[in-house]
Structure 1
């Protein structure tokens, strides 16, 4: 048998094995919550239960998909997320946000929620955990209700 005749099956076997065995160096896709952290935004601006997302890293345009709408209250602000939320993300800033009724902006160590002429700023450390649809950040965990730090309320 010629060297070429034995080399070809060996090369085919090598390529088949290379593509079928996962590489330990292959990067796993980040979750949407990890992407938020990469852009220095708190994960708690999105509720638990995101099913998928798309991000164009060259423009910052994103789409986040929930399996249904999601509503909860933070202090006296009712937040309603549609099943698709879109916007543009850059470090420390999310703009052109749609799919949520309340406007959310970051100002230093606070997140500001605005509805019409009223607004309130909450310390950002309230949003290191993701809210849950229905109960938000005041869900019962282990028999205790988590309380958020009080907002700084203003009107425009």
Structure 2
């Protein structure tokens, strides 16, 4: 019994020592910087990553940092660009894991684009062609800006808006598809992939010219282009890229799990993940989690576009 008490006492003492060491380490890390903004600067990051009005912060030995805004409330910013307002929201607490020149696993910062909220996942400082850049990771996307643009909170917010605006602009994107309603598909494979599209109610212009081969089984299709990857300009403004292999699942009036078709807006490539026919409209699903949709007249896609 005495030995058991001794063992329990030893375990308790060890736990208290470990707790004290961890607490002391966290306090020591905080003591080297008076504010959360100084913590950012000590790690080579601009203070404009955080908005004004930080009330408190906790920095743990593993680099996990959590920031609480004043009054513990969410903080919304509305920024007007080109006559439209965009909302950026900082949660009552925001945080991530901070390291030299980077913050990963970011949480609590989002931007509203149309009806979708897009989260910022990380920030990384790196050397670019134009000097030092800050790379913002927006869900599946990344976009870089000069570090000097992040010197204060307002400029940082404008930069975040600019990066996410690329997502909205992408909706005026694709110019490559056509007509048809939705006859039920036959059991035998159509003679060409363009015939297949029409049998499922899609216009042939969804695909470019130059298909060399296609496979179709159990609603799943694969298309192989003759000349490899294919790029074309749409609306004299955007670049559409068809990979040499395009695949997806097709049903009457709907293509899902689309793979191999992307749209370039500025420096960002956005995936087109789904295409639906809704009456005389063709609906495209663009970006992460199909968060952005845009409809076009089916008649705009009557002819397959040419690459090059």
Q: TM-score range by the shorter chain?
A: 0.5 to 0.7
| Distance of 1:119 and 1:70 partners within structure 2 | 23
Change (3 A) 1:87 1:46: same
Corresponding residue to 2:153 among 130, 146, 149: 130
* Deviations 1:56-107 (CA, angstroms, capped at 9, x unpaired): 1x21111100122122349687431101012111110101111112234224
Change (3 A) 1:41 1:74: farther
Q: How far is the alpha carbon of 1:54 from its aligned partner? A: 0.6
Q: When you count helix as a share of all residues, which structure comes out higher?
A: 2
Alpha-carbon RMSD across the aligned residues, in angstroms, is: 3.2
Out of 93-102 and 111-120, give the one that drifted further: 111-120
Partner of 2:94: 85
* Deviations 1:9-66 (CA, angstroms, capped at 9, x unpaired): xxxxxxxxxxxxxxxxxx785111011111111100000110100111x211111001
Out of 70-79 and 91-100, give the one that drifted further: 70-79
Kindly indicate whether residue 58 of structure 2 is the aligned counterpart of residue 54 of structure 1: yes
Out of 107-116 and 63-72, give the one that drifted further: 107-116
User: After the TM superposition, which residues 29-44 of structure 1 pair with which residues of structure 2 at under 5 Å, given as runs?
Assistant: 30-44=34-48
Query: How many positions carry a matched residue from both structures?
Result: 115
Corresponding residue to 2:75 among 48, 70, 77: 70
| Distance of 2:100 and 2:75 partners within structure 1 | 26
Partner of 2:103: 94
* Deviations 1:122-144 (CA, angstroms, capped at 9, x unpaired): 21111111239xxx459xxxxxx
Q: When you count strand as a share of all residues, which structure comes out higher?
A: 2
SS in 2 for 1:131: helix
Aligned partners of 1:121 and 1:153 also within 8 Å: no
User: After the TM superposition, which residues 4-43 of structure 1 pair with which residues of structure 2 at under 5 Å, given as runs?
Assistant: 30-43=34-47
Corresponding residue to 2:124 among 106, 111, 136: 106
